[in-house]
Structure 1
Amino acid sequence: MLISVQALRAVAAWVVVCHHFMQIFFDFKASGPIGEFFVAKGAVGVDIFFVISGLVIYLSTHERDMPASRFIALRLLRIVPAYWLYTLAMGLLLLFAAPWLPHQVIGWQNFLLSLFFIPSENPGGYGLYPTLNVGWTLNYEMLFYLLFSMVFLFERRHRPLIIASALFVVTEVLARSGLISRFYGNDIVYEFLLGIGIGMAYQRGWIRQAVWLPLAGVALGLLLIQNLDNSQRLLHWGLPSALIVLCCVSLEPLFRGSKLLKSLGDCSYSVYLLHVLVLYGGLLLAQRYSLNPYMVFACCVPVIAVGAWLSYEWVEKGLYQRMRARLDARRSGRQAQAV
């Protein structure tokens, strides 16, 4: 794993945390340049995540062949347990704290569909969001994984074209014609392809290691994001996000060997899932005791950080390793019986 990408993944996760802090505590009504930045631009962390996801999936599979079912099984083992855990926790929070969270409503149909990554209208009335609101991005991730699993049926040199064609058909044909949910008719899905493109360039040795030029590229990407809205998300935020990811890969020598940055990146998925729960808990305390929101946020940050680390060690890594060992044992047993 590229440590530079891990570091960027951690930054993206915490940018999203700050974005949702402004949403939950201030209803996106910010004052001051920092608050305004996180309100208007904090969601770009998702775009960076999607580019990184395409990059990581490509690099981890481009020299491997496996059954599509195994690829999907491994992704489910990696993603589902933590997501189900925090979706359940969010459901319980909404059941017991609904009077204090008027904009958050739980519905059993939405809850069950959320568990299976099926987009549905949130009973709160604000769009196609699952019970754990941040899980909307995982619906796109699961679509990407499902379509990517098909590439193992083709020669390696054709795989990028296959996944690009599949995403195009789903987004531009099936979703826009109403054959599947309109949720998938969003050009944000093409950000996975940007990550695959970066992975191809890296694998072929086209990304040179440097310092000053990549730093300038990062600055340019941030400048573009700062000055463009997300009305055309792929162009305005997706391409600058891809530029930032590309430049971070070029900066890898500066990050290589950092265990701290690797750990921060490892925990980023749990940070992403857990932070909304902690922030809502902080909001309830702030409302009850009339606490300063920024003081509450300062207390929430270490809770999120420590909670995410424990979640990664116990749920993401620990449970994943045990479940994968069982999956591999069953696979070996079936192969032995076939012989």
Structure 2
Amino acid sequence: MEEEKLPDFHQMHFDSIQVLRGITAVFIILEHIRFLNCGAFGVDIFFCISGFMIMFSTHRDGRHFLAKRLIRILPLYYLMTVGTFILLLLFPTMFQQTNADPVFLLKSLCFVPFDIGGGVLQPLMRIGWTVNCELFFYLIFGIALGISHRFRGLFCSLFLIATILIARLVPAPPAALAFYGNPVMLEFIYGILAYYAAWGLYRLYRTRKLPRACLLLGFPGCLGCLWGLLITKPHINILGFRRPILWGLPALLIVLCAFLAGLSAKKMPGPLVRLGNISFSLYLMHYYPVMLLDRAVFDFSVCSSRALAGTAVAIAVSVGLALVSHALIEVRLSNWLRGRLLTPPPPKP
């Protein structure tokens, strides 16, 4: 290994992190297959990845940060939210905890959480609660970026911690404060910490202070942490500050192990990288096909050969829809919006 042949950390492409995204999205699908119900911790991994990648992508330039993130997530989120509202109008008995209330639609589009029933604070599209968390993180990060580019991670972390503490100290906090003050938001901070840890490990690797043998811990580390999350899932009701401890910390380790695995493997399997590229669409689009297949074709309530076949069909259909969504909305529409809404950077002197 010659040091000069290794790229700078911020010139790297993290295909292994993309692979982790894709695998995590599949775990989320499995969470909604009733007889499996085993992938809720995928959200924790997603939040850690977000913190990691947002720090990485703003290392040199935070220009248009918030606008870029809005263009990235709003088109598909809005489309799915409006689609959910239309489904509620057409099939009101399809959903158990919400209804086609225009006020609910407006609040969901404006990222204002509300009680959908039973004290549950979520948007109209229930799995969209994570997108609400992501957007709040982007907003806080954008403010921190405006204060100090160098200390953006520190200020963002302090703002998130302050929000969580205020939500805990205020008696009967408003719905929005209770939602965005959920301790699960700490996991974005874990992602920020993972970014600095990965950067430090890579510097050690470039200077030969980190033996290459240590990189071989990446794959077994990922598998070990995932196995730990899988075996604890049926037995732990993760609430409050328990979640960022029992699921968030393993998620942080998984992200770091995926980073090390990427250094070790050099090249990741193309189909898995592609799965990671479409993971946002896969996350938002899988729920309704899974629910439809469960109720109309397969019975996912118990493990059976029919349910196992249905699981394979559900994953295949969800991936197919996500491929179309990624191509048409995440790539084509988002590129069109960026070209019209974002000013190009000034020419270099």
Match of 1:325 in 2: 339
Secondary structure (helix, strand or coil) at the match of 2:156 reads: helix
C-alpha distance in structure 2 between counterparts of 1:128 and 1:212, whole Å: 42
For residues 165-180 of structure 1, what are the structure 2 equivalents within 5 Å? 165-174=158-167, 176-177=169-170, 178=173, 180=176
Query: Structure 2 vs 1, CA of residues 158 and 99 (structure 1 numbering), >3 Å: closer, same or farther?
Result: closer
C-alpha distance in structure 2 between counterparts of 1:90 and 1:133, whole Å: 9
How far the C-alpha of 1:247 sits from its partner, in A, is: 0.3
Residue identity opposite 1:266 in structure 2: N
C-alpha distance in structure 1 between counterparts of 2:79 and 2:118, whole Å: 24
2:87 to 93, 96, 114: 93
Q: Deviations over 1:167-215 (max 9, x none)?
A: 0111112564226521122111111111111112223425756443223
Gaps of 5+ in 1: 23-29
1:3 to 8, 15, 18: 15
1:15 to 20, 27, 33: 27
Match of 1:54 in 2: 51
Gaps of 5+ in 2: 1-12, 206-211, 300-304
Match of 1:237 in 2: 247
**Corresponding position: 1:259 with 2:253:** no
Q: Deviations over 1:73-129 (max 9, x none)?
A: 11110000011111122222222222354455332222211112111111x546112
Conserved? CA contact 1:90–1:277, under 8 Å: no
Which moves more between the two structures, 55-64 or 247-256?
247-256
Query: Structure 2 vs 1, CA of residues 201 and 9 (structure 1 numbering), >3 Å: closer, same or farther?
Result: same
Query: Structure 2 vs 1, CA of residues 198 and 303 (structure 1 numbering), >3 Å: closer, same or farther?
Result: same
Please report the TM-score for the alignment, with normalisation by the length of structure 1.
0.84
Conserved? CA contact 1:175–1:183, under 8 Å: no
Match of 2:5 in 1: none
Match of 2:322 in 1: 308
1:198 to 191, 194, 197: 194
Match of 1:185 in 2: 181
Conserved? CA contact 2:141–2:153, under 8 Å: no
2:221 to 207, 217, 223: 217
For residues 93-112 of structure 1, what are the structure 2 equivalents within 5 Å? 93-112=87-106
Conserved? CA contact 1:140–1:189, under 8 Å: yes
C-alpha distance in structure 2 between counterparts of 1:184 and 1:303, whole Å: 33
2:40 to 35, 39, 43: 43
Match of 1:25 in 2: none
C-alpha distance in structure 1 between counterparts of 2:255 and 2:150, whole Å: 23
How far the C-alpha of 1:267 sits from its partner, in A, is: 0.5
Aligned residues: 312
Identity %: 30
Conserved? CA contact 1:44–1:237, under 8 Å: yes
C-alpha distance in structure 2 between counterparts of 1:59 and 1:332, whole Å: 21
CA-atom RMSD in angstroms? 2.6
Indicate the structure with greater helix content. 1
Query: Structure 2 vs 1, CA of residues 200 and 278 (structure 1 numbering), >3 Å: closer, same or farther?
Result: same
Conserved? CA contact 1:286–1:292, under 8 Å: no
Which moves more between the two structures, 294-303 or 201-210?
201-210
Residue identity opposite 2:57 in structure 1: S
Match of 2:285 in 1: 274
Q: Deviations over 1:281-312 (max 9, x none)?
A: 22342389xx9444433322221111100100
Conserved? CA contact 2:298–2:306, under 8 Å: no
How far the C-alpha of 1:154 sits from its partner, in A, is: 3.5
Match of 2:6 in 1: none
C-alpha distance in structure 1 between counterparts of 2:272 and 2:307, whole Å: 28
Conserved? CA contact 1:282–1:300, under 8 Å: yes
Conserved? CA contact 2:65–2:142, under 8 Å: yes
